[in-house]
Amino acid sequence: MCYTLLCFTLLLLVSSSFCAKQKCCPDKECYELGDPWQTLTRLVPEPECEGNLTRFFLIESSNKDNPVVFTARNASKIPGYLNVRKPTIIFFHGWMSSAAAPSIMNITTLYSSRVNANGIFVDYGEIAKNVNYPQVVSNLRVVATYVTKMVQNIIQAGVSPSQIHLIGHSLGAHLAAYVAKAIPGIGRLTGLDPARFLFTDQNCEVRLCKGDAQFTETIHTNGNPVWGFGTSIEDGDVDLWVNGGWDQPNCGVVVNPLAILQIGRSKISEVVTDLFFCSLRRAVLYYTEALASSCVFWGVKPDPLNMLISRLTLGHATKFIVHPRNCTLQNCVPVGLDTIHATGRGSFIVPTNYQQPFCVSQ
Ligand SMILES: *[C@@H]1O[C@H](CO)[C@@H](O)[C@H](O)[C@H]1NC(C)=O
Ligand SMILES: *[C@@H]1O[C@H](CO)[C@@H](O)[C@H](O)[C@H]1NC(C)=O
Ligand SMILES: *[C@@H]1O[C@H](CO)[C@@H](O)[C@H](O)[C@H]1NC(C)=O
Ligand SMILES: *[C@@H]1O[C@H](CO)[C@@H](O)[C@H](O)[C@H]1NC(C)=O
């Protein structure tokens, strides 16, 4: 009784951080509350039982413009539509995004045609569209439960976990990490500028970390610790710091002045994303170009000085001070499919052009 009272008091004080408590959903899935999910530095609400809003878009290389759509209700049919001997790429979008974002969908399509893989795009747009960011952060666990079930199904049908590559952008990078943590032996996990707020400095259980998959890599484009939306810590076996990894050239400080010129010429939602999320979005653009182009985005071993200058110039100097000459898979690390085939591990700095085509040819 006394303990219950104490527990209840603490609960009121620190939003249940100390009391083992669970949130159970109508689908019988339960989620532990408290540490490490809810702490004093991670004030997120309880997850909402919305996982069944997750949809899966299956992209077949023979019919890539017409994905087959599955809901939580018929996702168990997915194995019947896959070639289980092929590799499988599963892509996760970020906050405020969905399957309707063509630039994101392109990665799945390009990848599946480049390596003849099964492409699955996880659309949790109905959950990600909530402007309440901490609630979306909390709900990632619920989405992860549904994706994990789907992945377990395709593994049971014969897909090898080591042939599965999870790629996530921003919040989606951590969502992909939850799935990787839940399934032993996932081959590869790629975080495209993993989200920073409510993740950096938290326990590895709640965020993307080295060790989540057999090979984990991150591409940093907006890790500025003051105004960036991405992480600025090393979190993978390979961390690629594009133009220093904090800000991207021609994106401006926080607000991108070039985007203002676009008002009236593009869709307003695109202008807004370009205004505020220019550097964050570049991770997707660089990865897309790396998949589509024959030009290689090489990363070289950084030194403290070229990293510092790159960051202080908001990414503009890198192209002039970092030269990927004579790069091979032995002395440099490329962005894209071949990152895993390079021998180097740790951090690398990648120079790019200021606009498309971003790749700097050797
Ligand atoms: C999802 O689950 C909730 C709660 O169980 C239910 O009310 C809702 O109808 C379900 N939605 C879908 C799309 O299945
Ligand atoms: C799965 O269910 C959705 C919604 O009912 C439907 O639109 C879709 O065609 C179904 N997919 C398959 C492959 O049956
Ligand atoms: C996405 O793909 C479409 C169609 O293939 C193409 O027109 C568009 O330029 C691509 N977008 C990006 C950002 O790569
Ligand atoms: C690159 O290789 C060429 C020929 O092998 C050599 O002459 C040149 O010095 C090398 N450049 C650098 C920067 O190592």
Is the confidence at residue 198, as pLDDT, over 80? yes
- The alpha carbon of 323 and the centre of ligand 4 are apart by a number of angstroms equal to 11
Closest atom of ligand 4 relative to the 323 alpha carbon: 13
Phi and psi at 185, nearest 5°, equal: 85, 10
Contact present, 136 and 48 (Cβ < 8 Å): no
Identify whether the C-beta of residue 286 lies closer than 8 Å to the C-beta of residue 242: yes
pLDDT band at 17 (very low <50, low <70, confident <90, very high): very low
The DSSP 8-state label assigned to residue 345 in this structure reads -
Cα–Cα distance list, 248 to 278, 357, 358 (Å) = 8, 14, 11
pLDDT in tens, 200-232: 999 999 999 999 999 999 999 999 999 899 999
**Is residue 30 situated within a structural domain?**
yes
Q: What is the pLDDT of residue 152?
A: 98
The answer to whether position 14 is within a domain reads no
| Ligand closest in space to the Cα of 29 | 1
User: Which amino acid would we find at residue 260?
Assistant: I
Name the nearest CA neighbour of 345 among 224, 243, 205, 218.
218
Atom number, ligand 1, closest to the C-alpha of residue 51: 1
3-state secondary structure of 67: coil
Task: Say which DSSP state 44 is in.
Answer: -
pLDDT above 70 coverage of the chain, percent: 87
| Residues lining ligand 3, Cβ inside 6 A | 102-103, 106, 288
Residue 48: nearest ligand to its CA? 1
Total tally of structural domains belonging to the chain: 1
Q: Which ligand has an atom closest to residue 289 CA?
A: 3
More confident residue, 37 or 7: 37
Contact 202, 36 (CB under 8 A): yes
Which numbered ligand comes closest to the C-alpha of 300?
4
What pLDDT is recorded for position 91?
96
- Which helix H or strand E contains 136, and what residues bound it? helix 133-156
Token match 């199904």: residue? Answer: 153
**Contact yes or no for 142/48 (Cβ under 8 A):** yes
Spatial contact of 136 and 171, defined as CB atoms under 8 Å apart: yes
Q: Please give the average per-residue pLDDT across 146-164, as a whole number.
A: 98
Please, which pLDDT band fits residue 258 given cuts at 50, 70 and 90? low
pLDDT at 255 over 60: no
How far is the C-alpha of 243 from the C-alpha of 126, rounded, in Å? 33
Instruction: Decide if 182 is inside a domain.
Output: yes
45 exposed, middle or buried (CB, 10 Å; 0-12, 13-18, 19+)?
Answer: middle
Q: What is the CATH number of the domain that holds 159?
A: 3.40.50.1820
Pairing of strands 88-92, 118-123: parallel
Rounded percentage of the chain residues whose pLDDT exceeds 90: 77
Cβ contact 176:208 at 8 Å: yes
Q: What's the pLDDT band for 8 if we cut at 50, 70, 90? A: very low
Count the Cβ atoms, other than its own, within 10 Å of residue 346.
Answer: 12
How far apart, in whole angstroms, are the C-alpha atoms of residue 278 and residue 286?
12
Domain assignment present for 221: yes
Domain membership flag for residue 91: yes
358 lies in some domain: no
Nearest CA to ligand 3 atom 14: 103
Nearest CA to ligand 1 atom 11: 52
Confidence of residue 196 (pLDDT cuts 50, 70, 90): very high
Residue 288 lies in a domain: yes
- pLDDT greater than 60 at residue 25: yes
pLDDT at 272: 62
Domain of residue 255 covers: 22-350
Concatenated DSSP letters of 163-223 = GEEEEEETHHHHHHHHHHHHSTT--EEEEES-B-TTTTTS-GGGS--TTSSSEEEEEES--
Pocket of ligand 1 (CB under 6 A): 26, 49, 52
Lowest mean pLDDT among 179-193, 239-253, 270-284, 328-342: 270-284
Question: Tokens 């970092």 map to which residue?
Answer: 322
Per-residue pLDDT of 44-81, as tens digits, reads 999 999 999 999 999 976 777 789 999 999 999 999 99
In a domain, 7, yes or no: no
Nearest-atom index, ligand 3, CA of 292: 14
- Choosing from 25, 52, 56, 139 the residue with most ligand 1 atoms within 8 A of its CB, the one to mutate for a pocket test is 52
Q: How far is the CA of 121 from the centre of ligand 1 (A)?
A: 21
Q: Which residues pair with 349 in a beta bridge?
A: 241, 300
From ligand 3's centre to the CA of 107, what distance in Å? 9
Mean pLDDT of 221-247: 95
Ligand 1: distance of its center to the CA of 340 in Å? 40
325 lines ligand 4 (CB under 6 A): yes
Does the pLDDT at position 266 exceed 60? no
> What is the C-alpha R_g of the chain?
20
Question: What atom of ligand 2 comes closest to residue 68's alpha carbon?
Answer: 13
* d(C-alpha 320, C-alpha 317), whole Å: 6
